[in-house]
Amino acid sequence: MSNNRHNRIINTHHVETVLEVKDRTARNIMRRMRKHFAKEKHQPIILQEFLEYTKLPLEFVLEKLGWNKP
């Protein structure tokens, strides 16, 4: 698997899809991740950080987002 996939940007829609939560909850999770990684509001969360924060397996997240297709 290429390292490029780990650099993909995660947004609230992705959080909603993977974690099966509502919009407001996804925004709160994004806010907590930014705080955890000491990022400002305009700085993106990348897939690698999302995986580290949620402790979810890479293949599960890729499957949920449809990113594992060639």
Reported confidence tier of residue 41, pLDDT bands at 50, 70, 90: very high
pLDDT exceeds 70 at position 9: yes
Please write the tens of the pLDDT for every residue from 12-31: 999 999 999 999 999 999 99
> What is the pTM (predicted TM-score) of this model?
0.88
pLDDT exceeds 80 at position 3: no
The residue type found at 50 is: F
Name the residue with higher pLDDT: 16 or 70. 16
Given a contact cutoff of 8 angstroms between Cβ atoms, the answer to whether 44 and 10 are in contact is: yes
The residue type found at 28 is: N
Taking the CB of residue 5, how many other CB atoms lie within 10 A of it? 15
Name the residue with higher pLDDT: 24 or 3. 24
C-alpha 65: how far from its chain's center?
10
